[in-house]
């Protein structure tokens, strides 16, 4: 048990910190912050479900804001965008992009109903210098950025106004209201798990001359 690895005084400190009483349980998860928070959140949901602590007839709606702009990827050894590379940072956090990028908060907003994302959006970057800095944090140097997104960076120079967007998922809202767990159950013509639409028999095959026109090649198919 956990008590084998810690002395009694530390257990007492944990009890005081957590304000526990006799019969209470304390769960401790040690890992990277995102992994630990995700695991603890899932544990919380499972316990609540098993003990019937969730009111199935209640709708809890709230906004998620101040989400991290960037996340460090050990696999890529660089930062990656938590939302997308065109999301703007919060104005008061812009100076952190060159000091501590992991602490920069995104100017984004998610609408959540009963723990399920109903919609998501953000205020976009509208300044070419800020966009270049964002690309650089993502491992895209200036030359590559202009090669791939030059049209956008050039447009910013002409005075692009502040702008944003929000996409709302009506299908997800219906899923929550009907208390079903699979999104396909509320779609009129859902695709199956292999991505095939049985109604329209798609995707269809592509002819070689069509691929040649677009300079594309399909690999791995016999």
Ramachandran area for residue 162 (φ above 0: left; ψ -120 to 50: alpha; else beta): beta
Model confidence, pTM: 0.75
CB 106 within 8 A of CB 69: yes
- When pLDDT is cut at 50, 70 and 90, the band that residue 193 belongs to is confident
Helix (H, G, I), strand (E, B) or coil at 120: strand
pLDDT (mean) for 89-106:
96
Give the span between the Cα atoms of 170 and 164, in whole angstroms: 20
User: How many Cβ atoms are within 10 Å of 113's Cβ, its own excluded?
Assistant: 18
Does domain 57-190 fall into CATH 3.30.930.10? yes
SS (H, E, C) 139-179: CCCHHHHHHHHHHHHHHHCCCCCCCEEEEECHHHHHHHHHC
Predicted pLDDT of residue 4: 79
- Say whether pLDDT at 222 is over 60: no
pLDDT (mean) for 184-188:
90
CB 68 within 8 A of CB 37: no
Cα Rg of the chain (Å, integer): 24
- When pLDDT is cut at 50, 70 and 90, the band that residue 221 belongs to is low
The pLDDT > 70 percentage for the chain reads: 98
Q: Would you list the domain boundaries of the chain? A: 1-54, 57-190
Dihedral sign, Cα of residue 103, residue 93, residue 135, residue 121: positive
CB 40 within 8 A of CB 34: no
Give the span between the Cα atoms of 56 and 44, in whole angstroms: 16
C-alpha distances in Å from residue 40, one per residue of 29, 35, 47, 72, 88: 7, 9, 11, 20, 29
Helix (H) or strand (E) holding 61: strand 61-65
List pLDDT tens digits, range 127-177: 999 999 999 999 999 999 999 999 999 999 998 999 999 999 999 989 988
Give the span between the Cα atoms of 113 and 128, in whole angstroms: 35
């Amino acid at each position: 048990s956990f008590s084998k690895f810690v002395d009694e005084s530390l257990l007492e400190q944990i009890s005081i910190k957590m304000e526990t009483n006799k019969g209470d349980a304390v769960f401790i998860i040690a890992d990277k912050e995102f992994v630990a928070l995700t695991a603890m959140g899932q544990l919380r949901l499972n316990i609540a479900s098993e003990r019937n602590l969730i009111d199935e007839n209640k709708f809890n709606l709230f906004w998620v804001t101040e989400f991290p702009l960037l996340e460090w990827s050990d696999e890529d050894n660089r930062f990656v965008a938590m939302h997308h590379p065109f999301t703007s940072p919060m104005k008061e956090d812009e100076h952190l992009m060159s000091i501590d990028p992991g602490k920069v908060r995104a100017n984004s907003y998610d609408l959540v109903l009963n723990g399920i994302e109903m919609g998501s959006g953000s205020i976009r970057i509208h300044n070419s210098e800020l966009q270049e800095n964002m690309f650089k944090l993502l491992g895209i140097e200036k030359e590559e950025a202009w090669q791939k997104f030059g049209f956008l960076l050039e447009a910013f120079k002409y005075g692009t106004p502040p702008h944003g967007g929000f996409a709302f998922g009506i299908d997800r809202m219906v899923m929550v209201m009907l208390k079903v767990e699979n999104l396909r159950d509320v779609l009129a013509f859902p695709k199956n798990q292999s991505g095939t639409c049985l109604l329209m028999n798609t995707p269809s095959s592509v002819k070689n001359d069509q691929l040649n026109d677009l300079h594309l090649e399909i690999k791995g198919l016999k």
